[in-house]
Structure 1
C-alpha cells in the first residue's frame, strides 16, 4: 500500500515536472492505474479489508457461543455464562484447543454494543430535582461502618444536599427529604426517583406506579410531584448518579474518622456549602448564583415539617417490653401485658403510644437482640416487690452514679431499706436527677440517710419558702442575743439500746 509520501512524489512528478503517467509508471514501477489513483487521492491512505479476517481457532465455535449467550438472556442475571464457564464447556463438550484468552476475546466481541447517544437537556428553574441513595464506609468510634448517603440535586442550578444515614428505610427516606427541603429553603416541583421499594409498591404499565402510603403522605405534605425512571435506566437521572460518585470520592476520601454520624453530617453539610463556588457548565455562573435565581421558582415550605416516622403495631409482653427490629424496648408496668400499642420508629429514637398517650421514648438501637430498658418503667412494680431490686436487670444496665450504689449497699441491710431505695429513685419523676444526686451526697455527709430527710433537702433546693436568709442584727440592736447549744441526739439512741436490753 502506497504511503502519503509516495502520493506526494507522484503528484510533483506529474504536475510540477510535467511527466506523463506512462513515464512515471516506467520510472517508479507502479502501474498506471495506481498512478491515476494517486493523482486524484487527497486523504491519508488507510488499509481496508475486502473481507473480514478469519479466526481459525474461534470461528468453529462462534455460532455455539452466540447461541449460549442468546439463551442467557432468558436466564436469571446471576445464573448466566461467564467467559470462564464458556471456555470450560467448550473444552469439555467440543474438545476446544484454543486458549482461555481467545474465548474471552470472542465473548467480549459478541457482547459489545454500540455506544448509546444522548440528547443534551436543559431544565427550567425550580422544576426538577433528582434523588438517589449511595453507599460508603467510614470509621465511626474506631470501627468500620457502612453508611447510606441520601443525595438530592436540583437539575437547574446543580445545588445538592448530601446526608448520611444508618439505613435506607422509610423513616430515613422521609427525614432526608425534610432535611433537604429545609436546606434548600424551598421544594422542587418534581423529583425523579428509581423504583426503590420504600417509594414504589408495584410497577404498573408504562410510567404508572403504585406508591407507598408514607411516600404519598410526604408528597401531599410538600405538594411536589414524583417521576420514576424506567427499570434499569439510571441514566434518566444522570445528575444525581454523578453526585453519588462525586460525594463518595471527594467528601469521603480519605476515609473520615468520626465519633458519630452527627459529626460526619456536619462535615458533609460544609462540603455542600463549599460546592456553591463551583461553576455551572455553559452559564458563566456559580452554583450559588444560579441557585439564588432558581429558588423563587420553587414551591414554598409548609408551616410545619412532616413527622418522619414509620408507625407499626406492637404488643407488650409479661416483662413490659415490646419488640421491634429484633430489639426489645421497655414500657411502664402500669400497662397490662399483651396490650396493643403503637410504636413510631424515627431515625434516632423510638416512641411508644397507647392511643394518643405517649408511654415511652428510647434512643433507637441498631444492634440486634438488645434490650433497651428504662428503670423508671419498673419502679411501681419494684415498690411492691422490693426483693427484686438487687437483681433487677434494668438497674444494672442503667449504671447509676456511685452515690446510689453506696446507698443501696447501706440500705439493703436494714428493714425496709430496699423499698426506701425505690422511693429515692421515684424522686426522679419530680426532681431533676442532678438535684437528687446532690441531695443524696449532702444527706450522707450529714448522716441523714432517710427518705424524708432527702425530700426535705430537695425542698430546700427548689422551693423559695425554704430559702430563708439568716437573720442579721445591727450592732446597736436591743434584741438580746441568745445562743442555743445544739442537743446531743445520740442520747436517745443510748436510751433505746437500754430499753432493748431490759
Structure 2
C-alpha cells in the first residue's frame, strides 16, 4: 500500500488492488494520517512502514471455549487431581485425551485451543532444561521383533481398590499392541500373558525383547544372562530368541515403553471402576483394538497394511498353547502340609 499512498487512488481501488475490504483500507489510512500528519516526509513514511503492527487482544472473547466446554475441561483436570490423590499419578488424562473426549462428544474445538486453556490453569513450575540426546529410530521386517514390558495400575474392582499388573506386547513393524491384566507379576502371569498374546496373534515373532526382569533372568553371567526355567520352556515351545536390553536403557525397547504409558492412560485415566477383573480386561482389549486402527506416526491405512504383513510373517503355532505351570520341589512340614507362597496345602 505504500506505493499507492503517493497516488490519488480511491478507497475502492486500494481494496481491489490489495485484496482486502474498504473498511480495512480506511482503518490503515486513518492510522497513517494520525501517525505521520498531513504532510509526512519520506523518512516519516519509511519509519511508519517499518513499524510492526500492534493488535489489541484485551477485548477478545472466547467463542469456542464456552461455559459448557470450560466445565468439561475443568472436570477432566479435577479427575486428574483425584487420581493423583489416590496414587494413580500414571493414569492422568493428557491434553490430547481431553481433546479426544470432547471430539467424541461432538464438540468442535481445536487441539491447540484445549492446550492453551489447560496451560492457563496449570501452575506447575517448568522443569529445568536438560541437554538434548539423539536417538536413531529403528525399522524392522514384518513379524521379526516384538517387545514386552510390565506396567502397574490401580483400579476399583467391585468397589475394592486393587493394584494390578498389565502385560503389554508391541510388534515393532506395525506398532500393534496387546495388553493383559493380572493380579501378580510372577512367572505364571508371564507365561499366561505370552500364551494369550500368541493365541490371539496366531503365531510368534522371531525375537522377543525384554528388560532384565526377575521372571526372565535368573542371574547375570558377565554380559550374558542365565534364563529362568519358564523362559527356557517358552523359547523351546514357541521357537523365539530373547533379547535383553542393557540396564537403564529403556530406549532399546522404546515402542513398548511408550505403549505401557499410552495404553494405561487411554484405557484407565477416566474409567477406573469395574464390576470384575474380566470386565476390566474386556474394556482393555476394546481399547487396544481401537488403538490398532487409529492413525499414529503412520496413517490408519498404512497401519492396517503393516499389521496384516506382521501377522502373515509370524511363525505358526505348530505345538499349540504352552502349559502354564511351575514345577517345584517341596518338603512336608511337621503339620503334614507343604507351604507354597505362604499358604499351607495338605
2:340 maps to 324
Structure 1 position 154, deviation (Å): 0.3
- Is the aligned partner of 1:182 residue 2:199? yes
Q: CA RMSD in A?
A: 2.3
**What SS does the corresponding residue of 1:150 show, helix, strand or coil?**
strand
- Is the aligned partner of 1:285 residue 2:285? no
1:198 to 211, 215, 227: 215
2:286 to 266, 270, 275: 270
**What SS does the corresponding residue of 1:310 show, helix, strand or coil?**
coil
Please list the CA deviations of residues 334-378 of structure 1 after superposition, one character each: whole Å capped at 9, or x if unmatched: xxxxxxxxxxxxxxxxxxxxxxxxxxxxxxxxxxxxxxxxxxxxx
Structure 1 position 316, deviation (Å): 4.2
The 8 Å contact of residues 294 and 300 in structure 2, kept in 1 or not, is answered as no
1:300 maps to 316
1:120 maps to 137
2:151 maps to 134
**Rounded Cα–Cα distance in structure 2 between residues aligned with 1:319 and 1:120:** 59
- Is the aligned partner of 1:210 residue 2:217? no
- Is the aligned partner of 1:248 residue 2:267? no
Structure 1 position 275, deviation (Å): 2.0
**Rounded Cα–Cα distance in structure 2 between residues aligned with 1:166 and 1:124:** 34
The 8 Å contact of residues 158 and 280 in structure 1, kept in 2 or not, is answered as no
**Rounded Cα–Cα distance in structure 1 between residues aligned with 2:135 and 2:170:** 20
2:181 maps to 164
Q: What aligned pairs does 1:455-494 form with structure 2 within 5 A after superposition?
A: none
Task: Say which one has the larger Rg.
Answer: 1
**Rounded Cα–Cα distance in structure 1 between residues aligned with 2:142 and 2:320:** 25
5+ residue gaps, structure 1: 1-15, 18-107, 331-502
**Rounded Cα–Cα distance in structure 2 between residues aligned with 1:187 and 1:214:** 17
Structure 1 position 313, deviation (Å): 1.9
5+ residue gaps, structure 2: 1-41, 44-126
**Rounded Cα–Cα distance in structure 2 between residues aligned with 1:264 and 1:328:** 31
**Rounded Cα–Cα distance in structure 2 between residues aligned with 1:128 and 1:280:** 19
Please list the CA deviations of residues 440-480 of structure 1 after superposition, one character each: whole Å capped at 9, or x if unmatched: xxxxxxxxxxxxxxxxxxxxxxxxxxxxxxxxxxxxxxxxx
The 8 Å contact of residues 200 and 211 in structure 1, kept in 2 or not, is answered as yes
Structure 1 position 157, deviation (Å): 0.9
Structure 1 position 296, deviation (Å): 1.7
Structure 1 stretches of 4+ with a deviation exceeding 3 A read 286-289, 315-321
The 8 Å contact of residues 229 and 236 in structure 1, kept in 2 or not, is answered as yes
User: What is the number of equivalent residue pairs in this alignment?
Assistant: 223
The 8 Å contact of residues 280 and 286 in structure 1, kept in 2 or not, is answered as no
**What SS does the corresponding residue of 2:173 show, helix, strand or coil?**
coil
Structure 1 position 198, deviation (Å): 0.9
Report the CA distance shift for 1:255/1:327 in structure 2 as closer, same or farther (over 3 A): farther
**Rounded Cα–Cα distance in structure 2 between residues aligned with 1:163 and 1:296:** 23
Please list the CA deviations of residues 73-96 of structure 1 after superposition, one character each: whole Å capped at 9, or x if unmatched: xxxxxxxxxxxxxxxxxxxxxxxx
Q: What aligned pairs does 1:19-98 form with structure 2 within 5 A after superposition?
A: none
The 8 Å contact of residues 131 and 240 in structure 1, kept in 2 or not, is answered as yes
Structure 1 position 323, deviation (Å): 1.8
**Rounded Cα–Cα distance in structure 1 between residues aligned with 2:173 and 2:150:** 20
The 8 Å contact of residues 177 and 288 in structure 2, kept in 1 or not, is answered as yes
The 8 Å contact of residues 177 and 292 in structure 2, kept in 1 or not, is answered as no
Greater RCO (Cα-Cα under 8 Å, separation 6 or more): 2
Report the CA distance shift for 1:220/1:284 in structure 2 as closer, same or farther (over 3 A): same
